[in-house]
Structure formats: structure tokens, C-alpha cells
Amino acid sequence: MPTPASSSSRPGGEVVVIFGGRSEIGLAVAHRLAPGRTVVLASRPGGDVSTLAAPLEAAGAAAVETMDFDADDISTHAAVVDRIESRVGPVDIAVLAFGILGDQEIAERDAEAAAQILHTDFVAQAALLTTLAERMKSRRQGVLVAFSSVAGQRVRRANYVYGSAKAGLDGFASGMADALHGTGVTLVIPRPGFVIGRMTTGMDPAPFSSTPDEVADAVVARVLARRAGVVWIPWQLRVMFAVARLVPQPVWRRMPR
């Protein structure tokens, strides 16, 4: 089995996989991790990924691969990881960047719509984290990145379906991070506020908003440092939420989404 030293000295360097390979944040993370590494973009079948490799190669990636990946089909997760590892080698860094915001108004009336948000943003994430963590533990190395959100810190009326999915994922990932202590596997849990990007087009930015690049900078710093646990983005949100727990409930309505 490869060790951290041997993985970094492989011809293609460490293997970085972005699950949700067309995600703005995922691609921003991939761009920063690309130099000297093999990058795999695993994304939903049917989308155009032909233009995504060139920027990563220009950033210094040793190789860029693309792979079909349907996050919602949990039964295929292990097979997808098998194909990736048979093609490029063991996964060293896995970034779970897939997810949906959904439509809160529809989800309030449509049980299937609500279930879809919960499935993609919580159940599928937990399943893939489990699959990847077991493989990394057997090699005693690896980094996982699971994106939480401040939306899950106090689930609000405006987006309680999405927020509850993130709350579930946050709890699952936090517990897993503790369980992985001493195994050689690091689980980073970014907890960004409102991110200005494609997913939030048309929405009014909340206080302490960030961009995909700012999120990626914070995530990559933690990945490279192999520091497990939560990272608030921006850091001021940690203070904001700590103070908010001490003030009356109505103030929460002005918290970031």
C-alpha cells in the first residue's frame, strides 16, 4: 500500500478527485491543487466537460481525467471509485463538491422534491464519505473534504429543507472526523456562508458572503496542512454565530443563508 511519501512521488503525483466536477467551488479547489498532481473530475453524465481539462493542465496538473458519476445512485459509488483507482491509482484527496439548492417553495408542497434535496445533499454525501473513508483507512492516508454550510447551523424558515440536509451532513461529518482521528485520514469540513456564484444567481447576497475562489483558498490551506475539522468561511461567521446564540431569536432571521 502507498504511504504519503510514496504517493507524492508517483509519476502522476497525488490523485485528487472532485466529485461534482463541474462545481464552481470544486473546480477552484482543483485549480489550486493541480500543480504536480493528477486531477479527476467526476461529474453527472451528459454534461460537457471537454473544456475543463485545459485550465487544469495549464495550472500544472500532471494529468486530468474525467469520469461519469451520478451522486444520487448510491449503489454505483464503490464501482466509480474502483474505476478511478484502476485508472490513475489510489485516491489521495477527495473533494465532495456536488449538491443542489433546490426550490424551497416546491419542496414544501412536494414530498419527492423535498426528499431529493435531502438525498443529494445529505444521504448521498454520507454514503460516498463512508465508501472513501474505508479505503483511505486501509491505506492509513488520505484527505476528505465535505462541504457543510452555515445554513445548517440554525435551520431557518426561508430554506429549511436545504438547511436541514446541511445540518445532517454537518453532524455526520463532524462525528466521522472524530472517528477518523489516529487513522491517518483527515476530514476537512468547510462551513461557508452565502457563496456568490451560479448556485445563488438571482439571490441577494447575505452578510459576510464569499466567492468560490475565497472558499477554495480556505479549503486548500486546510487540505495542504492536513488539519481536520471545521473551517468557517469567512472566519468572522464563527464569531457572528457565537454571538447570535446569546441574542433574541429574531436576529437569526438576518443570518446568512
Tell me which residues are annotated as active site. Answer: 162
CA 77 to CA 64: how far, in whole Å? 20
DSSP type of residue 195: B
Instruction: Tell me the three state secondary structure of residue 84.
Output: helix
DSSP codes joined into one string, 120-164:
IIIIHHHHHHHHHHHHHHHHT-EEEEE---GGGTS--GGGHHHHH
- With b for 16 or more beta-carbon neighbours within 10 A and e for fewer, the 4-16 pattern comes to eeebeebebbbbb
Q: What residue type is assigned to position 221 of the chain?
A: A
CA 209 to CA 198: how far, in whole Å? 14
CA 64 to CA 16: how far, in whole Å? 10
Tell me which residue of 96, 77, 214, 84 sits closest to 144, measured CA to CA: 96
CA 16 to CA 139: how far, in whole Å? 16
